[in-house]
Amino acid sequence: MSKYSISEFIKNTEQEDKGEGLFELETPRMLEVNLNGMVWAKAGSMVAYNGKIKYEREGILEHGLGNMFKKALTGEGTSLMKANGQGKLYLADSGKKIIILQLQNEAIYVNGNDLLAFEPSLKHEIKLMKRVAGMMAGGLFNVRCEGSGMVAITTHYEPLTLRVTPGKPVVTDPNATVAWSGNLQPEFQTDISFKTFVGRGSGESIQMRFEGDGFVIVQPYEEVYMQQSNS
């Protein structure tokens, strides 16, 4: 049989159950959710499903008036959907690499654009980065997930995790910053020499500075956010 035959292709690429539970990496860039109940997922991330699953966009008042205000400022980028029911749900986001993390009474901040899915057992809150609202054209928000349960995040290419220790702060480019531990609060700073170093000829160069004890996940890619309209 030819290695390029359709049957060989199907054999090499077809879905297989790995028995890993609710979240499985079907491929490095495709998340399988073995759904029996509810899961939160990034709006627009569903590529296929089987079974009986209903989808519902996150209600604008789901988290109160404060979050409604944040949504108005951040456009549709924070949109989450609920998937309810039983079946298999396949999620992906622009071919980005997927990482599954099992939180055990822990907290993590994830850039709003890089959050793919998480269990409803995790409490989540959208955080607006007010201090950079006038400096960056999007990517102004992150989501704090806290508790015990699984969360799936996405990165462009291979991620790198940097440890933050007392007296040894880590400084990152916001557009390359994917997630950080829930006990860290980044400070924003500008640096003209850094702007020259990364080849940006106009506008302020914004950096995120992390101090304390924790970690930061970065990707080898600078995500350029488009300001999304609310119309």
- Residue 129 β-bridge partners: none
Is 64 a member of any domain?
yes
Q: Domain limits at 214? A: 20-218
Which CATH number is 160's domain given? 3.60.160.10
Position 6 confidence tier, pLDDT thresholds 50, 70, 90: confident
In one-letter notation, the amino acid at residue 206 is I
In one-letter notation, the amino acid at residue 12 is N
pLDDT digits (tens, 9 = 90+) for 113-125: 899 999 999 999 9
pLDDT digits (tens, 9 = 90+) for 79-100: 789 999 999 999 999 999 999 9
Is 55 a member of any domain?
yes
pLDDT of 228 higher than 90: no
Is 104 a member of any domain?
yes
Is 11 a member of any domain?
no
Residue 171 burial (C-beta neighbours within 10 Å; 0-12, 13-18, 19+): middle
**What does the CA dihedral 213, 219, 225, 228 come to, rounded to 10 degrees?**
-80
Higher pLDDT, 156 or 58: 156
**What does the CA dihedral 113, 118, 124, 129 come to, rounded to 10 degrees?**
-10
Is 149 a member of any domain?
yes
Is 226 a member of any domain?
no
pLDDT of 139 higher than 60: no
Beta carbons within 8 Å of 130's beta carbon, 6+ residues apart: none
What is the reported pLDDT for 137? Answer: 45
Q: Domain count of the chain? A: 1
Q: For the residues 100-122, what does the mean pLDDT come to? A: 94
Position 15 confidence tier, pLDDT thresholds 50, 70, 90: confident
Position 199 confidence tier, pLDDT thresholds 50, 70, 90: low
> For the whole model, what pTM was predicted?
0.82
Q: φ, ψ for residue 85 (rounded to 5)?
A: 140, -155
What is the reported pLDDT for 205? Answer: 73
pLDDT of 66 higher than 70: no
What is the reported pLDDT for 194? Answer: 61
pLDDT digits (tens, 9 = 90+) for 162-185: 999 999 999 998 889 999 999 999
Higher pLDDT, 24 or 203: 24
Is 227 a member of any domain?
no
Is 15 a member of any domain?
no
